[in-house]
Amino acid sequence: MAVKLVALDIDGTVLPPGAPPDAHPSPRLAAAVARLRDAGVAVVLASGRMFPGTVRIARAFGLDTPVVCQQGCSVHRLDGVMLHEFPIERAAALQIVDYARERDYAYEWFNPVRYLASRPTRETIAYGRVSGISPEYRDDPERSGIRPTGVGVISSPAEASLIHRELVAHHGDLLHVLDFPAVTVAVDRDANKGHALALLCRDFGVAREDVVAIGDSVNDAPMLAWAGHGVAVGHCDRYARDAADEVLPDDVTEPVATWLETLVPRGLRNGRRQAGLP
């Protein structure tokens, strides 16, 4: 396998679980990424965050590649220009809203640049902080005039799995439904990190088998499955674990940086071939 592109999730992967919203990648991880780039290996961030929170980490790494945001709902250049967007059908989104309203759940309604919710919750506040945006609150976000890329039902860890099962049963043929610990998010079928990564690799001229993806969560599972080699971190959820080819051990310091450091020699040889060096 000649690695030509590495795709990295941010929260729980580049940054450890529970990291503060303004956290930066560790110096060791930043150095490993820099060595990969020096070797001619492209590094791409693929995050559940919105663009501002994603691009902040990209700049901390010194990257110049496009970023995948909102679980794969959009792909942006670092100057903010959108390369790909996958809106959800409004009728389907409204059905998710009806589900939430009938059960008195808070819900979110978002596109690549705006995030609205029916009321403040711990989850909406946290998402706004990591995404670098200010959530907008109104009783009827679906009437905001925003064409959504997704809608989510905000509940609790005890309720979310049941909500996920019910939404998949009713909408799973038309929508991609993500099972987060306290939020169940519905997006277009093509709005996932795997599809977004495939589009970027097509743009870059990189073959699937030359791609490594690293992540930890349900929204990473499609890119872990699509990549030539999918790597899940040790604390990953069951979706990422099932999709990955390899799971990193928990008993090492900075497992992602450690794994990338083992990749660098292969990347260096690859980069020298690309540059015509011996």
Measured distance CA(7)–CA(150) in Å, rounded = 23
The least confident of 170-179, 235-244, 261-270 is 261-270
Backbone angles phi, psi at 7, to 5 degrees: -105, 130
Q: What residue ranges do the domains of the chain occupy?
A: 5-85+192-274, 90-188
- List pLDDT tens digits, range 12-37: 999 999 999 999 999 999 999 999 99
Query: Quick one: average pLDDT of 141-148?
Result: 97
Question: What percent of the chain is modeled with pLDDT above 70?
Answer: 95
Measured distance CA(64)–CA(81) in Å, rounded = 13
Whether the per-residue pLDDT at 277 is higher than 50: the answer is no
Query: Quick one: average pLDDT of 132-150?
Result: 97
pLDDT for the residue numbered 230: 98
pTM of the model: 0.91
pLDDT for the residue numbered 265: 60
Task: Give the CATH fold of the 90-188 domain.
Answer: 3.30.1240
pLDDT for the residue numbered 172: 87
HEC secondary structure over the chain: CCCCEEEECCECCCECCCCCCCCCCCHHHHHHHHHHHHCCCEEEEECCCCHHHHHHHHHHHCCCCCEEEHHHCEEECCCCCEEEECCCCHHHHHHHHHHHHHCCCEEEEECCCCEEECCCCHHHHHHHHHHCCCCEECCCHHHCCCCCCEEEEECCCCCHHHHHHHHHHHHCCCEEEEECCCEEEEEECCCCHHHHHHHHHHHHCCCHHHEEEEECCHHHHHHHHHCCEEEECCCCCHHHHHHCCEECCCCCCCHHHHHHHHHHHHHHHHHHHHCCCC
pLDDT for the residue numbered 2: 83
pLDDT for the residue numbered 272: 36
- Which CATH code fits 5-85+192-274? 3.40.50.1000
Whether the per-residue pLDDT at 95 is higher than 80: the answer is yes
Whether the per-residue pLDDT at 4 is higher than 90: the answer is yes
